[in-house]
């Protein structure tokens, strides 16, 4: 075998190896994209679930005659969880993330102001509309937050 034949064989092996490596890279990228989409779908489902639980808890709080403190804590828990999942979602804009974060914050920081039935109904409406993926839900959330006296209790 001549030197030229040896070089052709090595070049052929190098080309085959490059093709196999490229195919492997493409498969890896496709699997990564698929997994990212699957995870985002799970985050979205959990976000919606937590918003629905918060809405149910608000309804329970409004209709309750006793142990309102426990019911209020459940609202806080569910909104905090929804807020956490919201920040993991890529499809949600920064402005929308801020609106959900502010909703979560006011329920924690201003419990005396949030005990108002009308305010809680507006809060519930905002949560329901966000859960239904309506853009107006974020505007309603901003309106609820705007009504809060930040220097009050």
Q: What are phi and psi of 6, to 5 degrees?
A: -65, -45
Residue 100 lies inside a defined structural domain of this protein: yes
- Cα 91 from chain centre: 9
Contact 54, 107 (CB under 8 A): no
Contact 141, 99 (CB under 8 A): yes
Residue 21 lies inside a defined structural domain of this protein: no
Tell me what pLDDT residue 85 has.
95
Give the model confidence (pLDDT) of 4-62 as tens digits: 888 988 999 999 999 999 999 999 999 999 999 999 999 999 999 999 999 999 999 98
- Whichever domain contains 140, its CATH number is 1.20.120
Residue 5 lies inside a defined structural domain of this protein: no
Residue 1 lies inside a defined structural domain of this protein: no
| DSSP per-residue string spanning 90-131 | SSS-HHHHHHHHHHHHHHHH-HHHHT-HHHHHHHHHHHHHHH
Q: Is the pLDDT of residue 152 over 80?
A: no
Q: Which residue has the tokens 């009308």?
A: 118
Residue 22 lies inside a defined structural domain of this protein: no
Domain carrying residue 120 = 42-147
Q: Is the pLDDT of residue 110 over 70?
A: yes
Measure the CA–CA gap between 16 and 22, rounded to whole angstroms.
Answer: 10
What sign does the dihedral 88-92-93-99 (CA atoms) show?
negative
Residue 109 lies inside a defined structural domain of this protein: yes
Q: How many domains does the chain have?
A: 1
Residue 27 lies inside a defined structural domain of this protein: no
Q: Is the pLDDT of residue 97 over 90?
A: yes
Residue 111 lies inside a defined structural domain of this protein: yes
């Amino acid at each position: 075998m001549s030197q030229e034949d040896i070089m052709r064989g090595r070049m052929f092996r190098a080309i085959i190896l490059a093709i196999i490596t490229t195919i492997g890279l493409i498969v890896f990228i496709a699997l990564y994209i698929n997994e990212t989409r699957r995870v985002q779908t799970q985050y979205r489902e959990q976000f919606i679930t937590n918003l629905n639980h918060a809405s149910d808890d608000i309804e329970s709080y409004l209709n309750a005659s006793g142990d309102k403190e426990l019911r209020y804590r459940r609202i806080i828990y569910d909104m905090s969880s929804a807020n956490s999942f919201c920040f993991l979602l890529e499809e949600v804009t920064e402005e929308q993330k801020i609106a959900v974060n502010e909703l979560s914050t006011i329920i924690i920081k201003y419990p005396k102001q949030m005990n108002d039935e009308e305010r809680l109904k507006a809060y519930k409406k905002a949560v329901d509309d966000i859960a239904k993926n309506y853009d107006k839900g974020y505007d309603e959330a901003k309106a609820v937050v705007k009504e809060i006296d930040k220097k009050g209790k």
